[in-house]
Amino acid sequence: MAKDQEALTEVKSEINELIDKLSNHSLQSSELLDILDVLKQVEKQLDSSKNPQSLVIKMINYLRSMAMKGNIHFPKDEESLIIELGAYGQKAGLNGQYMADFSDKSQFYGFAEEIPQH
């Protein structure tokens, strides 16, 4: 159990580091702002999530989808963080990748939560 909590703490740290790095991009496109919204939302939900690995893999799939749509290229340090988060998310199993619309930001928000629009 302690090992799971340690991994979750590491994932949260990597998400926060990625948020910091992406926030410093010179071009803040709507896709990048959506990615930042989702990263912040997932970071808040990780502790209460029943399956954090599935949440992380959905986040990574969303991030990749929006990056492709917005033609966003990540420097090596950001890409390394994304790869590490993806490795954690892969523990969700094969079905975790196919259970979401990759481009739908609302999957990360609860029914009563407001979804930021850019």
| pLDDT interval class at 1 (50, 70, 90) | low
Q: What is the DSSP letter of 115?
A: P
Is pLDDT at 99 greater than 60 in this prediction? no
- Over residues 3-19, mean pLDDT: 92
Q: What is the pLDDT of residue 80?
A: 96
| pLDDT of 70 | 92
**Domain definitions of the chain by residue range:** 1-105
Q: pLDDT tens across 29-63, in order?
A: 999 999 999 999 999 999 998 889 989 999 999 99
pLDDT at 9: 94
The amino acid at 78: E
Beta strands in the chain (DSSP E): none
CA neighbours closer than 13 Å in the CB half-sphere of residue 49: 23
Residue 94 has a pLDDT of 56
Q: What span, in angstroms and rounded, lies between the C-alpha atoms of 74 and 107?
A: 24
Token pair belonging to 24:
């410093």
Cα-Cα-Cα-Cα torsion 31, 58, 52, 48, nearest 10 degrees, comes to 60
- Count of other CB atoms within 10 angstroms of residue 56: 26
CATH 2.60.120.260 given to domain 1-105? no
118/81 Cα distance (integer angstroms): 25
What is the predicted pLDDT for the residue at 46?
Answer: 93
- Per-residue pLDDT at 5: 86
